């Protein structure tokens, strides 16, 4: 009976990696994807590069392993196609951003598109889809749907 208590102890833990709380019962592979900017592919590459078992629970990680994961995700040594910022607009290099840096950079990109009045910038400003999707039936946010909608209570 005590063996069960010890094995479930890690499930109650919450591990903090890169200012994100991850439940201890999750596997390393799926738990790392909770961090903003870490995809499944980057999570798998992290486990592979650091030789950490993907199925190992986050709660079972040692402080040293957590530190290794943090350092790797901050400065990943992965193939360029896995990075989320290929050919950065300002520097021209491949980067991988995480957390609030990713949000901030995305916001600046959208502001730049709006400022130069590009098609994508105009679509962002109007709150419409950017990539050629249809707009007749989708993308209606809290607007009247259909041509002849009558208000309740009013009769002709």
> What pLDDT is stored for residue 70 in this prediction?
93
Q: What is the pLDDT of residues 126-146, one digit of tens each?
A: 888 888 888 888 777 776 666
Helix or strand (DSSP H, E) at 23: strand 20-23
The domain of 72 spans 2-81
Interval 3-20: pLDDT, tens: 555 556 766 788 898 888
pLDDT in the model for residue 148:
59
Q: Does some domain include residue 132?
A: no
In the chain, the number of structural domains is 2
Question: What three-state secondary structure class fits 84?
Answer: coil
Residue 88 falls inside a structural domain: no
Domain assignment of residue 110, yes or no = yes
* Claim to verify: residue 74 and residue 104 sit in the same structural domain: no
Are residues 109 and 55 part of one domain?
no
Q: Are residues 58 and 116 in the same domain?
A: no
Digit-coded pLDDT (tens) for 30-83: 999 999 999 999 999 999 999 999 999 999 999 999 999 999 999 888 888 988
pLDDT reading at 1 higher than 80:
no
Q: What is the pTM of this model?
A: 0.73
CB 10 within 8 A of CB 60: yes
Task: Please give the C-alpha separations between residue 137 and each of 4, 145, 150, in angstroms, as whole numbers.
Answer: 53, 8, 19
* Co-location of 57 and 107 in the same domain: no
pLDDT at 40: 94
Q: 101 or 153, which is more confident?
A: 101
Considering the domain architecture, whether residues 113 and 46 belong to the same structural domain is answered as no
CATH classification at residue 57 = 1.10.8.50
Contacts 24+ apart (CB under 8 A), 6-11: 9/59, 10/57, 10/58, 10/59, 10/60, 11/57, 11/59
Per-residue pLDDT of 83-107, as tens digits, reads 888 888 888 888 888 888 889 999 9
- Do 75 and 108 lie in one domain? The reply is no
- The whole-angstrom distance between residue 87's C-alpha and the CA centroid of its chain comes to 19
Shared-domain flag, residues 9 and 50:
yes
Q: Does residue 17 lie in a domain region?
A: yes
List of residues 6+ apart from 118 with CB closer than 8 A: none
Say yes or no: 59 and 103 in one domain: no
**Residue 114's pLDDT band (boundaries 50, 70, 90)?**
very high
- % of the chain at pLDDT higher than 90: 44
Please say whether the dihedral angle defined by the alpha carbons of residues 132, 138, 144 and 147, taken in this order, is positive or negative.
Answer: positive
Please check whether residues 103 and 73 belong to one and the same domain.
Answer: no
């Amino acid at each position: 009976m005590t063996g069960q208590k010890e094995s479930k102890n890690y499930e109650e833990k919450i591990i903090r990696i890169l200012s994100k709380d991850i439940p201890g019962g999750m596997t390393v592979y799926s738990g790392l994807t909770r961090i903003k900017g870490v995809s499944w592919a980057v999570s798998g590459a992290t486990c592979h590069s650091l030789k950490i078992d993907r199925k190992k629970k986050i709660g079972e990680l040692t402080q040293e392993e957590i530190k290794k994961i943090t350092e790797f995700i901050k400065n990943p040594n992965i193939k360029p196609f896995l990075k989320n910022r290929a050919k950065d607009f300002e520097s021209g290099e491949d980067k991988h951003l995480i957390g609030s840096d990713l949000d901030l950079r995305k916001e600046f990109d959208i502001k730049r598109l709006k400022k130069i009045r590009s098609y994508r910038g105009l679509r962002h400003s109007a709150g419409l889809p950017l990539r050629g999707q249809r707009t007749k039936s989708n993308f209606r946010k809290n607007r009247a749907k259909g041509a002849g909608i009558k208000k309740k209570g009013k009769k002709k």
